[in-house]
Structure 1
């Protein structure tokens, strides 16, 4: 980017560029040079806003974790409306059609990034851990309304749904699973918990 041309929100522009590189080329291709080239700016822009590349990646993951928080609030508000299976299917599809699967691969592939995320207080695999909490909270809210059986173990159901959803979307080379696959998994997992 030429000197003197202002960037709108440099941090968000760099995050968006990193997501594009991550989705298109995978975690091994994600370098500071690839990000700044994709963002159309000088490499120094990244280092002006972040201490180093792992700090940038940690902030990227934390920003994506925050998105799960927003999805969580929307899903919890849906409790009591629509169908439980429909709400869960939409939530899992929305979660995994985003950059979530690629972020998981990124976190797994970079030791320095995992260390930074632990320092930030994140445990487990970021995004997946927060998504499991999101699903468990939703199922708990549905249980309070009588739409999930009182004895249902919502934490185990949530982990099963997140793991199954991740497996459906991982390794699909950017294309979603076949039509109805997510709904079929959700129906199977929650069948015994529906009253």
Structure 2
């Protein structure tokens, strides 16, 4: 059996950017995107294991050529240490969402079922409202949001995607698709 790697043209790319943790670095990055008319779909920033170094995970729309241009422009900025497009690299991706739902007494058991199925947590409970926390890959977050939409979403707060490349280099999405094909 011959395995062929499929290359997909993605309309959204995930960039992992290591920066020196200096005042104004995020402002310079956002200014670059604004000047070049690039958009950022999601942005997550946090410290790394190395003091003074932060990781920025950006999801940006565009083709491969656009991402290459963004990468070149980012490297021109001071305080940028490394820019990596991890879109097609085996990685672990997670997001967090908090959703406040309108929750009538007769809906609570149905909502609890959905919460349990998605391994979510109820983090606040009031007479007619629930706040639910869900952590997972972006597909899980979107599926959860879609299902609870019928209960009446009052508010949503969602983080941007965070991502680390897999040291094992094993693409779990590829393995999951392979298993599904055999079924």
- The normalised TM-score by structure 2 is 0.27
Task: Decide which structure has greater strand share.
Answer: 2
Q: Which structure has more RCO (C-alpha within 8 Å, separation ≥ 6)? A: 2
